[in-house]
Amino acid sequence: MRSGIDGVRRFYDLTAQEEDARLFKDRYHQLEFIVTMHYLRKHLPGSGRILDCGAGSGHYAIELAKMGYEVAVFDLSRELLKLARAKFEREGLAERLLAIVQGSSTNLGCFEDSYFDAALCLGPLYHLIEERDRDRTVRELWRVLRPGGVLFVSAISLFGIYGTVVAEFPWELTDERHQEMLERGIHRGKWHEDPRVFPDAYFWKPLDLKAFMEERGFETIEMAACEGVVTHLRESVNSLSEEQWERLKQIVVETSNDPTIIGHSEHFLWIGRKRPR
């Protein structure tokens, strides 16, 4: 079955090594990590417990542990969690690992109410095509955060996807099976026979995500574009000289929170704070 939670789990189990390498396979892909780390450093509390929900192979969790935080690692994929555990052991950071749990973001019942000072959700909202599942995920994140706790959410932009379709999958522009994706942001994995092709996914408009989070007990702090002003310019970015690359990183970070470019980026961040009820 290519659709639903099982399809998403199978995809990441099958592609765990590729996903582990994705953020660092070239300069262009590093921008997502660079921008995200900038905002983590900017908005995280000085210390405390952090939930990395949708931690993947643990790239961000490891960085947070190095910064002194206690981290709980949570993901749908068993294979990605194996890679994350190995990273913590290899880096000698196992003592900072609060827990490593396999499960769905729609049920964080293994964690107590108001347990975490901050949380990351850098992937789960990519793949929940049913609103009830997106709702459950956000309400669970609200529950496990302390009042005032900070939440970081990443999304794949619907507008950013248009560029990807034109560059890599132009036939989808006129394929009736993919019109739901172009018009409503819903990509159904069942249209692809290969289990290694992207599974069920939901692509967001920035203002829609902002409203969604605010309706569920959060206040918005900031939003930012991950690839920003150079979205889709992969070959050009990867061909820069070292000096040019260093300058470009500065530009991308400095302009990342400009609201005029957030929706165009392939990935964007929403950062907010839990409001007490």
**What pTM does this model have?**
0.96
The answer to whether 200 and 3 have CB atoms below 8 angstroms apart is yes
Beta bridge partners of 173: none
Q: What is the pLDDT of residue 3?
A: 61
Give pLDDT tens digits along the chain (277 positions).
456 888 999 999 999 999 999 999 999 999 999 999 999 999 999 999 999 999 999 999 999 999 999 999 999 999 999 999 999 999 999 999 999 999 999 999 999 999 999 999 999 999 999 999 999 999 999 999 999 999 999 999 999 999 999 998 899 899 998 899 999 999 998 877 777 788 999 999 999 999 999 999 999 999 999 999 999 999 999 999 999 999 999 999 999 999 999 999 999 999 999 998 7
8-state DSSP, 276: P
Query: Order of strands, edge to edge, in the sheet holding 97-102?
Result: 97-102, 70-75, 49-53, 116-121, 145-156, 267-274, 218-225
Q: What pLDDT, on the 0 to 100 scale, is given for residue 19?
A: 97
Query: Which domains can be identified in the chain, with CATH numbers?
Result: 4-274 (3.40.50.150)
- The token duo for 212 is 């969604």
